[in-house]
Structure 1
């Protein structure tokens, strides 16, 4: 049994626990902010009363023999504080993204091998297939669409131009860009010419020399998507859970219903990331990897603090280009 402490028993924690339960994790501690009753409400859903777990962080710090691993799923503003206090124990930590919005804070722990960041989309089968195709291809052109919400644009953000949701939600996409295409150098952008950002198009080069374009369209009726064109083939994640491989065109001749000739990309392969054991996509395999980390398994790869720092750095690079316009 792996004795787990949850810090931040919110909705996302429920998805983690649903997956972690398949790998012999037992909740022995559940900690929420001072004055909150959420830890007790959360644990009651798992049939545990207050005598069966601890809920005090100071108790946790002074009784490290009573727990083996930690899930940190509290709001971003508090995540790094817990990392800072727990890292010295060198026990496995699974922390929700983005961990911190500060590069300076993140780089402090970029080499810690016991901290795993919950970029669960890396574990999608669709992403795995996409990465396999890209790794076997040369001279690719990459296009990314991010239709983020503008609702948080006035909330406190590291950027004066980008909404906080880019850092806390769309960071998944920036992590996938780094994961799929290695380091990207952003060179220039085109954006809406007014005080309120509505759209931007950022252009860059991957480490391989392949060009990449990100289209950020606030409130657009679009799906998040990543695509790569290679000759007469195109691979696409749209939404990220869905993988499609296109080759050539299918010609639809005029008909009574549609009196024009249409050229549609021909789908030759298609798959999607299914739920495993009724878990949210990506969470089961993410939990499996975290379990292996807890078991001390060697030679496993997982998203870490350095990956979170790289994703934040990519967003900051684009924000800097906006400022220079």
Structure 2
């Protein structure tokens, strides 16, 4: 088997091929190299100048104008599919026939039924919900695991410009919103387990992009509320409360823990009583990213674990992706 060292990283002897040559594919290639994979093949559209540039940047030996042919004929131990969800299912089916590990970018499809119809295969499929691999998210998961039940709130305020297709009730609106909301729906499921919709309410009517609130409940009794307040003047955020304590992720790459309130009595300068949450801990995801896009280094390690026959405890499965899409359909449509 071909092995070589890339940019000072010891090769583990496993080769990988990548479908896609956009910015996200570059992020994946950087992480794959970091953990020791050899990226030998890249496939993109016919005459893709971008694929040629990426191949030159990362010393990738083979550029394929037909990604399907690359998957079927090239020698590889794992494949990473970085394609739009509208184009992913067909190439994923072809990859499954090789019965080797696959990492496929989220959300794989835009409708749960489309992904559910994917035939079963012995090929392990990891779905690229990279936030599952954040160290700060694992810290939040540790908080949840030690409590009987939590109240969780997910704020999804993605901003869209005036030229965005997010208008009316079109398929384009559904696709754009789903690609945003699905990140946080899967994140909620990774923290709380299976979630079952209780109610969905449209909070503002008469707007081009109305806001929606979905209340869900987990199998163990957690209540999880999603605020899809598109175009709000806010950041993405997650709050988990239990037993008087709080964990806050805002943005998702930063975690803070709180326990109790500090009461500040009124003064002449500030004549009101103030209640300040007591922060007990803070951490940042960039401390753990190894120079890669957050989550991708550990995600690449998870793929390496699967290729090596070891257990992967954190990655999303196709079943996880289907269930996330079911919830997205309720929240967005």
TM-score (norm 2): 0.86
Question: Which structure exhibits the higher relative contact order, with contacts defined as CA atoms closer than 8 Å and separated by 6 or more residues?
Answer: 1
| Structure 2 gaps, min length 5 | 1-12
Q: Which residue is equivalent to 1:219?
A: 231
Structure 2 CA distance, aligned partners of 1:248 and 1:266?
Answer: 6
Structure 2 vs 1, CA of residues 317 and 176 (structure 1 numbering), >3 Å: closer, same or farther?
Answer: same
- Provide, for residues 204-258 of structure 1, a one-character-per-residue CA deviation record: whole Å limited to 9, x for no partner: 2221222222111111121211112223211221111122221111123445664
Structure 2 CA distance, aligned partners of 1:42 and 1:256?
Answer: 63
Cα deviation, residue 195, structure 1: 5.6
Do the aligned partners of 2:178 and 2:332 also contact (CA within 8 Å) in 1?
no
Match of 1:168 among 179, 190, 194: 179
Do the aligned partners of 2:133 and 2:314 also contact (CA within 8 Å) in 1?
no
Q: Which residue is equivalent to 2:127?
A: 117
Match of 1:279 among 275, 278, 292: 292
Cα deviation, residue 187, structure 1: 2.1
Q: Secondary structure at the match of 2:198?
A: strand
Match of 2:106 among 97, 100, 104: 97
Q: Which residue is equivalent to 2:325?
A: 312
How many residues get paired?
316
| Structure 1 gaps, min length 5 | 321-325
Q: Tell me which moved more, 137-146 or 253-262.
A: 253-262
Q: Tell me which moved more, 250-259 or 204-213.
A: 250-259
Q: Which residue is equivalent to 1:252?
A: 264
Q: Which residue is equivalent to 1:138?
A: 148
Poorly superposed stretches of 4+, deviation over 6 Å: 156-159
Match of 1:108 among 117, 126, 130: 117
CA RMSD, Structure 1 to Structure 2 (Å): 2.5
1:85 aligns with 2:94: yes
Structure 2 vs 1, CA of residues 97 and 217 (structure 1 numbering), >3 Å: closer, same or farther?
Answer: same
Q: Secondary structure at the match of 2:90?
A: helix
- Provide, for residues 239-280 of structure 1, a one-character-per-residue CA deviation record: whole Å limited to 9, x for no partner: 111222211111234456644331111111222222432122
1:19 aligns with 2:31: yes
Do the aligned partners of 2:153 and 2:225 also contact (CA within 8 Å) in 1?
yes
- Provide, for residues 11-67 of structure 1, a one-character-per-residue CA deviation record: whole Å limited to 9, x for no partner: 01111111111222122211112242221011111245xxx3141335424524x22
Cα deviation, residue 88, structure 1: 0.9
Do the aligned partners of 1:110 and 1:305 also contact (CA within 8 Å) in 2?
no
Structure 2 CA distance, aligned partners of 1:126 and 1:298?
Answer: 21
Structure 2 vs 1, CA of residues 157 and 25 (structure 1 numbering), >3 Å: closer, same or farther?
Answer: farther
Q: Which residue is equivalent to 2:83?
A: 74
